[in-house]
Structure 1
Amino acid sequence: MNEAIEHSHVEVNGVRLHLAEQGEGPLVLLLHGFPESWYSWRHQFAPLAAAGYRVVAPDQRGYARSSQPADADKYTLLHLVGDVTALIGALGAERAVVVGHDWGAPVAWATAALRPDLVRGVAGLSVPPLPIGGPPPLRAARENFGDGFYQLYFQEPGRADAELAADIKSSLRRILCGVQPDGVPRPWIVPEGKALLETVPEPEELPDWLTDADLDAFTADYARHGGQAFTGGLNWYRNLDRNAELLAAFTGVTVEVPALYVAGEQDLVNAMVPPEALAHLLGRLPRLHRHVRLPDTGHWTQQERPAEVTEALLDFLKSLDG
């Protein structure tokens, strides 16, 4: 087994992806979300590798040490699933277990739904298996949460990009530490006339799961893209309606491979997906192994509760190997 995380790059589908890798054995891909990178999985590498798995976490298209296509329409869900499927082949594997957090979860769910031949099992953290195809999601977001909903705020090219890139470390600190004063999760809403970061003030202190060194690691990776540090990730949001249009033929498809869902009870996603809707979405997983609910846990699941998330992943991986 490799003793340390190794770093490399691979060319797939016209983009250069940075990879962090440790261990040998069956392939496990870890897909990060926004605004994160491979580093969000730092706690999972060693224990998964020690259990006999080859753990690979890419910086996904547009993020951190990976290349950032200039055109916003190069970030559709089909592009992102294509990167994962190409990566499995580039790593010399026939199949993989695909694990995703935040935006990485929709990529993982869609990869499992569209290419079950390549996926041994799939795990989603924080974001349940949302429908593929269907009505334009931004219209529903506007109806449910208003024009200030963060996903709508992100649609204007350059606006959130400039605000977040002005001070990368401060932006990351605010977003990763952002909680409601009363601890009740709510949708991220930007009131009219306000800037994005005015809604997430600087924290007085860091939570126990995030250090200043962690923030420095994230910041160094994002700073490689300068004033476009967050543009690649924001472009994922700018394809939400396009994804629904492109994937209309797959509306109603279910995820037929073994699955795991893990989420924090204080996750802001809970404010957007009520219990009855979550039950319906999890119904798209006919081979659901477990639904793990983590108390006193927010959105940054594998960072906030590394031991519990790793335990859930190892239990799931063992069930696949058995």
Structure 2
Amino acid sequence: MTSSRTISANGIEIFLLEQGEGPLVLLCHGWPELSYSWRHQIPAIAAAGYHVVAPDMRGFGQTSAPSDIGAYTVFDHVGDMVALVAALDEKQAVIIGHDWGAPVAWHAAMFRPDIFVAVAGLSVPPPSRGRGRPLDTLRESGITNFYWQYFQTPGVAEREFERDIALTMRTLLGRGFSDPAASLFVEEGKGFLGDARFDRPLPRWLNEADLAYFTAAYQKSGFRGGLNWYRNIDRNWELTAPWQGAQIVQPSLFIAGSKDAVITGLIGAKRLADMERVVPNLKRKLIVDGAGHWIQQQRADEVNAALIAFLEENAGSASAQ
């Protein structure tokens, strides 16, 4: 049975869900999500013989949300996961991430191969550090309305999302990122949510109880913590300069939906094609036909099967302690 607790690690309080015994598996969620996003994976992976831990990431849910924007860099997020492994009295783990959690997982594997013995990323390909700061590159390409840019000014997106949190969560999760025109580029005057309607039918993978859980959590936490991750995109580029061209050599897995705009757009498609250069020990690249962005919720059985098969082949060293 899944239980919850809060652990002090890396100077913050981290809320987590956990289940099972065996080698440690960390599940890192993305935006705008929670540890609850892994509700289908936690019991399945635990039943396969693993100690599964899914934290609310820094700034989300019941985990601490520092007020300083600079406290949300990739170093902070990886530091949280390193400290969490130690706080759980373990020395090694397999790390799995979705959406923003994927860059955390990829960088954790890159920075600390001594701790993270295998890595899986969902929806977001491994890091490929470009020649310039990402936001500068967008501007120089003539792009001014990408959602990363809309999220930069503190308070703008917060005001939009917090005006009606129930409607916001219904729109964000119900729509997803399957329609790039609606999701990734922000029309002047329409905000990120665009045509937000309460009569939008929920997708089959999301029920009203699930939506109520997300809504209640964001009514307590607000959106600032999660949005601060985006406000460090250029800073992350600067901080990761020492790892320019670095590879992730551990066994790795990638899973995404064929209709996810994160991998179908120009940048994502290129990173998808170039993936093996960054992760030469890629065991499998699974593109789930017809699936969108919220892959581990939308297509739980296929994701679980792929994750468990990967763990059975590659988590052995995490248990040899």
Q: Distance in 2 between matches of 1:276 and 1:84?
A: 28
Q: Distance in 2 between matches of 1:77 and 1:163?
A: 26
Say if 2:252 is the partner of 1:256.
no
Counterpart of 2:307 in structure 1 is 313
Shift in alpha-carbon separation, 1:252–1:70, aligned structure 2, 3 A: same
Say if 2:240 is the partner of 1:243.
no
1:211 pairs with 204, 207, 216, which one?
A: 207
Q: Distance in 2 between matches of 1:306 and 1:145?
A: 38
Shift in alpha-carbon separation, 1:200–1:268, aligned structure 2, 3 A: farther
Say if 2:226 is the partner of 1:233.
yes
Say if 2:81 is the partner of 1:87.
no
The residue type equivalent to 1:236 in the other structure is: W
1:262-309: per-residue Cα shift (whole Å, max 9, x none)?
A: 000000102243544422133200100100010110000100000000
1:2-56: per-residue Cα shift (whole Å, max 9, x none)?
A: xx11110111121111010000000000000000000000001111111100000
Shift in alpha-carbon separation, 1:288–1:161, aligned structure 2, 3 A: same
The 5 A counterparts of 1:283-298 are 283-298=277-292
Say if 2:259 is the partner of 1:266.
yes
The 5 A counterparts of 1:56-67 are 56-67=53-64
Deviation at 1:235, TM superposition (A): 0.1
Counterpart of 2:70 in structure 1 is 73
RMSD between aligned alpha carbons?
1.7
The residue type equivalent to 2:312 in the other structure is: K
The residue type equivalent to 1:280 in the other structure is: D
CA contact (8 A) 2:102 2:125 kept: yes
CA contact (8 A) 1:174 1:203 kept: no
TM-score, with normalisation over the residues of structure 1?
Answer: 0.93
- Which sections of structure 2, spanning at least 5 residues, go unmatched? 317-321
CA contact (8 A) 2:126 2:271 kept: no
The residue type equivalent to 1:120 in the other structure is: V
Deviation at 1:197, TM superposition (A): 1.8
Q: Distance in 2 between matches of 1:211 and 1:93?
A: 36
Q: Distance in 2 between matches of 1:200 and 1:263?
A: 26
Q: Distance in 1 between matches of 2:120 and 2:144?
A: 32
1:135-165: per-residue Cα shift (whole Å, max 9, x none)?
A: 2011223345721110100001111011111
Deviation at 1:188, TM superposition (A): 1.1
Length, aligned pairs only:
314
Q: Distance in 1 between matches of 2:223 and 2:302?
A: 30
Counterpart of 2:103 in structure 1 is 106
Deviation at 1:184, TM superposition (A): 5.5
Q: Distance in 1 between matches of 2:245 and 2:186?
A: 32
2:117 pairs with 113, 120, 125, which one?
A: 120
Q: What's the % identity of the aligned pairs?
A: 46
Counterpart of 2:16 in structure 1 is 19
Q: Secondary structure of 2:79's match?
A: helix
TM-score, with normalisation over the residues of structure 2?
Answer: 0.93
Say if 2:198 is the partner of 1:189.
no
Task: Please say which of residues 127-136 and 106-115 is displaced more in the overlay.
Answer: 127-136
Shift in alpha-carbon separation, 1:167–1:190, aligned structure 2, 3 A: same
Counterpart of 1:177 in structure 2 is 174
Shift in alpha-carbon separation, 1:212–1:5, aligned structure 2, 3 A: same
1:198-230: per-residue Cα shift (whole Å, max 9, x none)?
A: 2555552111000010011111222222xxx11
Deviation at 1:167, TM superposition (A): 1.5
Segments of 4+ moved more than 6 angstroms: none
1:150-197: per-residue Cα shift (whole Å, max 9, x none)?
A: 0100001111011111211211110111168xx665561111232222
Say if 2:35 is the partner of 1:41.
no
Q: Distance in 2 between matches of 1:295 and 1:243?
A: 32
Shift in alpha-carbon separation, 1:120–1:74, aligned structure 2, 3 A: same
Q: Distance in 1 between matches of 2:176 and 2:231?
A: 25
Q: Distance in 2 between matches of 1:184 and 1:148?
A: 15
1:103-141: per-residue Cα shift (whole Å, max 9, x none)?
A: 000000000001000011000000000225752011223
